[in-house]
Amino acid sequence: GAGVSQTPSNKVTEKGKYVELRCDPISGHTALYWYRQSLGQGPEFLIYFQGTGAADDSGLPNDRFFAVRPEGSVSTLKIQRTERGDSAVYLCASSLISSSDNEQFFGPGTRLTVL
């Protein structure tokens, strides 16, 4: 079947604007993870969902960041009042269950540039 998809692939916005990044996980995967990756760094955990609920949002940097997964499938990462420091590649991954011994399947990412 189809893998994890993310839209848009690239997003350029101005400082102070609101953006939404979308993730379509693999069908049947109950766990969905969001990561942020800066140049030369590894993926940094932001939040993960088990089903519809956010099981761990400890990685969200501040209250400008919010994510939802209302029906337990598609997830949207929302960033308010964007800042230049938010520029990064935002990666989404899904796995069958939320366990550290489960393989995570990654989408291609959304490259966010805040001017």
Q: How far is the CB of 57 from another protein (least distance, A)?
A: 11
Query: CB of 14 within 8 A of CB of 114?
Result: yes
Structure tokens at 32: 């969905």
Q: How far is the CB of 16 from another protein (least distance, A)?
A: 26
Query: CB of 48 within 8 A of CB of 23?
Result: no
Contact between 62 and another protein by CB under 8 A: the answer reads no
65: helix, strand or coil: strand
Contact between 50 and another protein by CB under 8 A: the answer reads yes
Residues in the chain, overall count: 115
Contact between 1 and another protein by CB under 8 A: the answer reads no
**Residues pairing with 11 in the sheet:** 112
Q: Which of residues 23, 54, 89, 112 is near another protein by CB under 8 A?
A: 89
Note the residues at the interface with another protein (CB under 8 A): 4, 31, 33, 35, 37, 39-45, 48, 50, 55-56, 89, 91, 93, 98-101, 103-109
